Amino acid sequence: MLQLETMSCQVDGPLARLRLQRPEALNAANWAWVRDLGTAVDHLAQNTEIRVVIVSGEGRAFCSGLDVKELAQGNLSVEWFAAWERAVTTLATLPAITIAAIQGYCLGGGLQVAIACDLLVAATDAIFSIPAVKEGVVADLGPMRLARLIGAARAKYLCLLGRRFSAQEGLSMGLLHEVVALSDLEQRSLDLAQELLAIPFTALRHTKRQIDHAFEQDIAMLTNAMVAAQEECLRSLEHAEVMAAYREAQKRRMHAKTDRSS
């Protein structure tokens, strides 16, 4: 059992469970979260006995994306985004078959983590979006991965407008593989894992690799371009204005809460 500050990684023979555990912040990603994700996926990559990985979130969300409070304070640097992408790329390239078990909010970076997995199973209450442009940043390589899964036209509509969509909409556009009741999500994920574990892993591993290579691009070059783009976004006046507005809204909410309690 690998227990980290914001998540845990439990390995039981060929099955591993990666649980995102920052429920008080809807599993939003801060610096500790990104460091932990990198540690966890490296741990999984080094264990050659693992054949299936289930990724899930604790509490009311799978992952609500980057921690906007941290972004608004300027605490999420371009190095943070680069570390994020390295961790997500490691998850995407694990030899094991990965299952994202999604409930509640799956926004921004949360959706990036989900689509880095091979199979996506969502509860009926799941809500999705990639709203990075509204925060004045780019969603790392999330838009590229999304375009590979659902096509460029749909990906542009969702990413350029930051639109939210439901689990049923995700199923109809081919992003999700199954939608189940929230009460059934855990068991359905385990059932899928057991079904995969009953299939010869060598065949699964090579089949996954073939499909992934059908859209072969140089990830290192794409990541370098993304980091340069992210740096320009973080330095832009638009990003500064959006984050200033966010901080001001936070202050108003805090003042209103103080007034109600006094």
Q: Would you tell me how many other CB atoms lie within 10 Å of the CB of residue 65?
A: 27
pTM of the predicted structure, to 2 decimals: 0.83
Supply the pLDDT for residue 172: 97
Supply the pLDDT for residue 233: 81
Alpha carbons 157 and 247: distance in angstroms, whole number: 28
Residue of 96, 20, 35 lying closest to 65 (CA atoms): 20
Alpha carbons 125 and 163: distance in angstroms, whole number: 17
The answer for 143, left when phi > 0, alpha when psi is -120 to 50, beta otherwise, is alpha
Supply the pLDDT for residue 136: 85
Amino acid sitting at position 79: E
Domains and CATH numbers, the chain: 2-228 (3.90.226.10)
Supply the pLDDT for residue 262: 65
Residue of 57, 55, 52 lying closest to 88 (CA atoms): 55
Which residues of the chain are modeled with pLDDT < 50? none
Supply the pLDDT for residue 11: 97
Output the average pLDDT for the chain. 92
Supply the pLDDT for residue 123: 98
Supply the pLDDT for residue 24: 95
Supply the pLDDT for residue 132: 87
Alpha carbons 178 and 45: distance in angstroms, whole number: 26
Supply the pLDDT for residue 216: 67
